[in-house]
Structure 1
Amino acid sequence: NIDVFIDLLSYRKYGHNEGDEPRFTQPELYDIIAKHKNPRDIYAEKLIGEGVITRQAFEERVEAFQQQLDEAYEVSLSTSQLNLQPFFAEKYKDIRFPEAADFETPAETRIPKELFLQLAERITTLPREMKFFNKTVRLFAQRAAMISEDSYDWAMGELMAYASLAWEKHAVRLSGQDSERGTFSHRHAEIITEDGKDKYFPLKNLGGEQAAVRVYNSPLNEYGILGFEYGYSLAHPEGLTIWEAQFGDFYNVGQVVVDQYIAAAQEKWGIKSGLVMLLPHGYEGQGADHSSGRIERFLTLCANLNLQVVNCTTPANFFHVLRRQLHRDIRVPLIVFTPKSLLRHPECTSSLAEFTEGAFREVIGETAISNPSKVKRLLLCSGKIYYELEAARREAGNDALSIIRIEQLYPFPAKQLHELTAQYPADVERVWVQEEPLNMGAAAFVKQQLGDCHLRLIGRPASGVTAEGLTAQHKINQAAIIQQAIDIATH
């Protein structure tokens, strides 16, 4: 094989568009173009000159083609109605557009206890005939211990969602930068043998006639890969298609795909997609490029049930929201702000019952307050800051504080939230607490949704960047947020 280079000089005969006047800026060039013959005539003269075709034959072909166009035009005039075939009509015949009620009634996402334990054993067992790195063996032993201890971490919750969907014959596809191992070494969807010559995929060895599970490490090209995965999701509505950013911050290179397609396609063209975006998000002192998936940007795009935006705090809730994507007869893009520090947080675990008896919870209420009538301040939050607030309250022994987690930011769970807040005194102080600067995050959105002019907002001061560049300053600001939230005397 040899390489071929084509040096092609092209031009626009009528400028940028037919309504443009190119001579305003390029008069000399367009004087030449105006006198230049069109490509058809140039090619015809060449063929006639070489004796390949006669002039008469050329003119007859031109006339025949013109007649073909005229006949097609006449036929179009007699057509009373143009019937366009809907996009992927056959694939989406049983999938409808979302309604508000879809987000007020839990989807059936639990799985039988026996199946859960069976799949959990399969994905935590390594084949004896393959030799793995000692740390890998230890990791899988720890995962296997979660079964007997009835305490499953984030990675197990995620992997069990994929395993259960594949068992139900739903294909799973996940791609992203370092998604096989996981950016934070938590997933390990593929395991490499000690000599580096072989790989083992637990999710592909569930037994039975499972659907395909494909996990890919993608190039560092958010725009290209996100666009591809969005298109893939359109063609596979019965499968779970996921794109994961290495850090949530990095999705901004694919912002145009979000704006033009993911958020807008339903209203623009009536096109449905069940694409899932996983955006690692959370403030741990890693600076402005490794802290925020830009919750606020997605919330400004939310309208008419075009997106789902969630910020889960438990493995079971993550499990259920992933399964919910395929266990309803609607398809709406799902934006998940996934944690980093919670991946190994000792309190961020779920029990077997939460997977086999529960459902996705849009709002998670208080578990530690026995007498809601004595609560003076109600803290509303979303994401991993909950664990910091809970730890600070526990240390302070403050029973006058209550904490509610909003796990689904959009569609906003107004009904579910009202059911939880109704138990508190009418004059309870309501406070929204977030890690992000107050001109970012969900603060403005939540305040608008609640229509509550008395909602107090606590977060980092407004800023042009998402986070501080110094770890020491991060710790100071983070501590100040937590202190303001739990100190009822602070006004």
Structure 2
Amino acid sequence: MKDLSLASNATYIEEQYHRWHANPQSVPEDWRWFFEGFSLGVASEVAPSVEAVAGPEDIHRHIRVAELIRRYRELGHLLSCVDPLEPCALEHPLLTLEACGLEAADLDRVFFTPEIAFWDKALLRDVVALMKETYAGSVGVEFMHLTDAEERRWLQERMESTRNHPPFSTEERLHILKKLWQANRFEQFLHKTYLGQKRFSLEGAETVVPMLDGLIRHAAVQGCETLVLGMAHRGRLNVQVNVLGKSPAAVFSEFEESCDTESETGSGDVKYHKGFTGWVSVSEDGLKKVRTLLLPNPSHLESVNPVVEGLARALQDALDHRGTDRVLPVLIHGDAAFAGQGVVYETLNLSQLAGYRTGGTLHLVINNQIGFTTVPQEARSTRYATDVAKMLPAPVFHVHGEDPEAAVHVMQLACDYRYRYGKDVVIDVVCYRRYGHNEGDEPYYTQPTMVERIRRRPPVNELYAARLQEAKVVSADQIEELEKNTLAGLENALKEARATGCVLAEDFGLEAWKRAATKEKSYAEGVPTAVSAERLLAIARATHTYPAGFHVNPKLEKILDKRREKVESGKDLDWSTGELLALGSLLLEGHPVRLSGQDCGRGTFSHRHAILYDVQSEETYVPLNHLAATQAPFVVVNSSLSEYAVLGFEYGYSLRDPSTLVLWEAQFGDFANNAQTIIDQYVCAAEAKWNVSSGLVLLLPHGYEGMGPEHSSARLERYLQLSAQNNVRVCQPTTPAQFFHLVRRQALHPHKKPLVVMTPKSLLRHPQAVSPLSDFVGGRFESVLDDPHAPPLPTYGILCTGKVYYDLAAFREKAQRDDVVLLRLEEIYPFPEEKLSALLGAYGSVRRWVWAQEEPQNMGAWSFVCPLLHKLLGEKPTYAGRPASASPATGFHRRHKEEQERLVAEAFQDS
């Protein structure tokens, strides 16, 4: 353990003191300040009857007092009384007088206390009492790891001046009691009415309800207009009803299953996963309200964290000013999940990054002190579930779950810190679960002694009521009235639910999406996406013109000049040019664009160069933000080395407004594997489960170039396996013009779906993968591309998707196979059955069709397209490609080359 003692350096300090005494200017300013204060402190007495420490010989004793104060601030949480199930410790070996070189006789001595803002000097007894009440009572605080001294001082003054337990007014205490009573009785009512049904009860942690209620009211004073909330299952129904304002009758309808969920939200989801949009009144007249957005969340508990942050950032960006004040993200975690799930760390890491910061998030950890059945010593390697949060300069508060006043105070203090410093804060509410993991679970099997202690404890609402009765704040009659009114409200709500048959609440959703919502099963391609040559030329010239004095890398400048020249000539526009023109045209049409991903500013394959760097100063310039004064904003963000959190963030960002084009690019396509939870649970399933739409675009580099198993396949097969009910678009365009029209269609089409694009690597510079300007000025995205060099009466046909087309075309030309027609499937899902059927019919002379792909037979599109092609052709097409494999690709370039040549040749074997 590190040496925590200032006293251990007493010799050095004494030397500094003697130097200061001889010449004050000979020591640093902070030492001068300390010794001057020390001299003032010992020069006067507090009371004649009190023995004061005086004289230079007592400097060590003063230093030890300063050490004691520092220890309580740094380590007081080790002595804090925050566990309702355990007796409070009376002392800690590091926090005794003896540990700091002091003795009992010092308690009645006066010491100079410059470390305490509001005391010049004090009895040591009073100092110890202040430190214990502040840092070792119902609140334990970890904040001395903050690197900013001003932040530490601010927290010290706020906490020590109130001793972390300020007095609440009678009205405030009665309101806390009411919220606790509502929270507890709601759970008991559900338990009695729907015995054995899962609800993930909040019992044991009811204090969370007055905490959140107090937060919303307090944040409104700071300027909060929208609260974006993410939480897992426990207490979700309770929070919706008793904090966010959801009708209890709507919750009862969900238990009764009396609503036609299929017509409302597709396949739907269990009630404790669903979101909610509410308005919380924060003024007596009810006119001032805070909008609350509770996002839906699957059983991957912490996956919602980056989604909340992304939506909050999008809402903030849409505001003209003070966006971080007006939109507050709040995340409610479980202790086991907060410690155990990596996306927590990834999201925390985004909190202070320019492209992702949201002005600070309030994290509330409902500390059950257990996972499902897993105890902390089996679940984490750290003392606290919240220790991962100390990677940030973020204060962490541990609070007793049965001290609601301390808990509400800490929540308000955390809110003030967030608004003052724009940083995250973590509050660890130490509580327990009255039942097991859910209401059907039996916790006695695994934690019998813990369960027995819990069952002997009265609920927190009753404990707090007794405390207020003792303080003469509330009477027995008032408590009886509260009980009567609470139960009557629940009974009436149940009657309403059963009498009405279906009481609907407003699930999560934003107004802009409601206007764009659709239930259509078709996705018409007839959206005009062509752009005039004049506008395209203007974009090319504007994005290749730089400010005076800006020094572009000479090698890059030549590349960019050629890009502009190709647009001006109208010939051989490459992939990066197609993307540039697509994004630029959308910006000029008023569609904001956000692009993020690892190294996406330059592009993994050095093709994009959306951010230019001055070679002399390293100042940056983003050409797409300099097209016109009236253009929409373009944001390009080089992300952290994260897929899970970053994709979740971008998905959340895409939820705000369908008119904003949001793109996430994987460095290599298969890196999206690390974000599979976001893809499975949100991108591909959110519309069916929660009626939540998104137009997010995933750009996934894909293609077999001999770069090894992790740099070849973007796992096309996984996205196709997830495709159903018109939930997503999966495309693999092969020309720059196709990509141009695809991106524009995605932004302009009124019916949004997520778009997965298998983007190329070698095709970025392939001499054949180019398009004339005329293809941009006219046309649209084609789900199937006909053969531009088709023979008049082919007898052999090859179907494919992606890069392999160019290998097949080269082989056909070299082998002079003028009997072969090549068709490209550019949009694989939704499968373009009608268009492909028409093309196949046009080539009625073909007697044999082959499906060719680069991927192994158990990967790629083969398993998906085979039965669909069988239906169209009347027979199963022949497969040409790599055999089934456990690995996506070989790691040896020579072997890759041999495999590629073999599969291409195999595709032309007419036998």
Letter in 2 for 1:461: P
> 1:25 and 1:85, CA in 2 relative to 1: closer, same or farther beyond 3 A?
closer
Q: Is this contact kept in 2: 1:98–1:305, CA < 8 A?
A: no
Task: Report the alpha carbon displacement of residue 101 of structure 1 after superposing the two structures with TM.
Answer: 4.3
Query: What SS class does the counterpart of residue 173 from structure 1 fall into?
Result: strand
After alignment, is 452-461 or 332-341 more displaced?
Answer: 452-461
> 1:47 and 1:6, CA in 2 relative to 1: closer, same or farther beyond 3 A?
farther
Q: Is this contact kept in 1: 2:586–2:744, CA < 8 A?
A: yes
User: Runs of 5+ in structure 1 lacking a partner?
Assistant: none
Q: Alignment partner for residue 72 of structure 1, among 489, 503, 525?
A: 489
- 1:398-446 deviations in Å (ceiling 9; x for gaps): 1011100000000011111122222223552100000000000001111
Determine whether 1:461 maps to 2:891: no
Aligned counterpart, 2:575: 154
Aligned counterpart, 1:332: 753
Q: Alignment partner for residue 431 of structure 1, among 850, 854, 857?
A: 850
Letter in 2 for 1:145: E
Task: Report the alpha carbon displacement of residue 395 of structure 1 after superposing the two structures with TM.
Answer: 1.1
Aligned counterpart, 2:826: 407
* Counterparts of residues 202-217 of structure 1 (less than 5 Å): 202-217=623-638
Give me the whole-angstrom Cα distance separating, in 2, the residues matched to 1:427 and 1:382: 19
Q: Is this contact kept in 2: 1:98–1:330, CA < 8 A?
A: no
Q: Alignment partner for residue 309 of structure 1, among 730, 753, 764?
A: 730
* Counterparts of residues 380-395 of structure 1 (less than 5 Å): 380-395=799-814
Query: What SS class does the counterpart of residue 711 from structure 2 fall into?
Result: coil
Give me the whole-angstrom Cα distance separating, in 2, the residues matched to 1:131 and 1:427: 57
Task: Report the alpha carbon displacement of residue 486 of structure 1 after superposing the two structures with TM.
Answer: 2.6
Letter in 1 for 2:486: L
- 1:32-81 deviations in Å (ceiling 9; x for gaps): 22223433445556677xx7x23x61645644543442343255234735
Determine whether 1:131 maps to 2:551: yes
After alignment, is 179-188 or 193-202 more displaced?
Answer: 193-202
More helix by share: 2
* Counterparts of residues 54-453 of structure 1 (less than 5 Å): 54=472, 57=474, 59=476, 62-76=479-493, 77-78=495-496, 80=500, 82-85=503-506, 87-97=508-518, 99-103=520-524, 105-150=525-570, 151-371=572-792, 373=793, 375-451=794-870, 452=873, 453=875
Query: What SS class does the counterpart of residue 57 from structure 1 fall into?
Result: coil
- 1:91-135 deviations in Å (ceiling 9; x for gaps): 1243232645434x4321111221111112111222332112212
Give me the whole-angstrom Cα distance separating, in 1, the residues matched to 2:490 and 2:467: 31
Task: Report the alpha carbon displacement of residue 141 of structure 1 after superposing the two structures with TM.
Answer: 1.0
Q: Is this contact kept in 1: 2:808–2:904, CA < 8 A?
A: yes
After alignment, is 346-355 or 188-197 more displaced?
Answer: 188-197
> 1:98 and 1:340, CA in 2 relative to 1: closer, same or farther beyond 3 A?
farther
Letter in 2 for 1:410: Y
User: Runs of 5+ in structure 2 lacking a partner?
Assistant: 1-150, 153-393, 399-427
Give me the whole-angstrom Cα distance separating, in 1, the residues matched to 2:771 and 2:477: 78
Give me the whole-angstrom Cα distance separating, in 1, the residues matched to 2:478 and 2:613: 63
After alignment, is 313-322 or 79-88 more displaced?
Answer: 79-88
Give me the whole-angstrom Cα distance separating, in 1, the residues matched to 2:453 and 2:514: 54
After alignment, is 152-161 or 26-35 more displaced?
Answer: 26-35
Q: Is this contact kept in 2: 1:94–1:329, CA < 8 A?
A: no
Q: Alignment partner for residue 17 of structure 1, among 438, 445, 448?
A: 438
Q: Is this contact kept in 2: 1:435–1:478, CA < 8 A?
A: yes
Q: Tell me the TM-score normalised to structure 2 length.
A: 0.51
Q: Is this contact kept in 2: 1:98–1:331, CA < 8 A?
A: no
Larger Rg: 2
- 1:197-246 deviations in Å (ceiling 9; x for gaps): 41111100001300111010111221111111111111121110111111
Q: Alignment partner for residue 904 of structure 2, among 475, 482, 491?
A: 482
Query: What SS class does the counterpart of residue 271 from structure 1 fall into?
Result: coil
> 1:88 and 1:361, CA in 2 relative to 1: closer, same or farther beyond 3 A?
same
Q: Is this contact kept in 2: 1:266–1:306, CA < 8 A?
A: yes
Letter in 1 for 2:537: L
Give me the whole-angstrom Cα distance separating, in 2, the residues matched to 1:66 and 1:42: 15
Q: Is this contact kept in 2: 1:125–1:144, CA < 8 A?
A: no
Aligned counterpart, 2:41: none
> 1:86 and 1:205, CA in 2 relative to 1: closer, same or farther beyond 3 A?
same
> 1:232 and 1:65, CA in 2 relative to 1: closer, same or farther beyond 3 A?
farther
> 1:147 and 1:12, CA in 2 relative to 1: closer, same or farther beyond 3 A?
same
Letter in 1 for 2:902: A
Query: What SS class does the counterpart of residue 242 from structure 1 fall into?
Result: strand
Give me the whole-angstrom Cα distance separating, in 1, the residues matched to 2:762 and 2:745: 25
- 1:133-173 deviations in Å (ceiling 9; x for gaps): 21221121111111233221100101111111110001001
> 1:98 and 1:434, CA in 2 relative to 1: closer, same or farther beyond 3 A?
farther
Give me the whole-angstrom Cα distance separating, in 2, the residues matched to 1:346 and 1:273: 35
Q: Is this contact kept in 1: 2:509–2:692, CA < 8 A?
A: no
Give me the whole-angstrom Cα distance separating, in 2, the residues matched to 1:315 and 1:58: 76
> 1:44 and 1:135, CA in 2 relative to 1: closer, same or farther beyond 3 A?
farther
Give me the whole-angstrom Cα distance separating, in 1, the residues matched to 2:587 and 2:661: 9
Letter in 2 for 1:85: E
Query: What SS class does the counterpart of residue 20 from structure 1 fall into?
Result: coil
Give me the whole-angstrom Cα distance separating, in 1, the residues matched to 2:530 and 2:395: 57
| Larger RCO (CA under 8 A, 6+ residues apart) | 1
Letter in 2 for 1:66: E
Q: Tell me the TM-score normalised to structure 1 length.
A: 0.93
Letter in 2 for 1:57: V
* Counterparts of residues 28-67 of structure 1 (less than 5 Å): 28-43=449-464, 53-54=471-472, 57=474, 59=476, 62-67=479-484
> 1:180 and 1:21, CA in 2 relative to 1: closer, same or farther beyond 3 A?
same
> 1:427 and 1:342, CA in 2 relative to 1: closer, same or farther beyond 3 A?
closer
**Aligned-residue CA RMSD (Å):** 2.0
Q: Is this contact kept in 1: 2:790–2:822, CA < 8 A?
A: no
> 1:485 and 1:4, CA in 2 relative to 1: closer, same or farther beyond 3 A?
closer
Give me the whole-angstrom Cα distance separating, in 1, the residues matched to 2:856 and 2:669: 16
Letter in 1 for 2:768: E
After alignment, is 404-413 or 25-34 more displaced?
Answer: 25-34
Query: What SS class does the counterpart of residue 326 from structure 1 fall into?
Result: helix
Give me the whole-angstrom Cα distance separating, in 1, the residues matched to 2:646 and 2:576: 23
Give me the whole-angstrom Cα distance separating, in 1, the residues matched to 2:661 and 2:590: 11
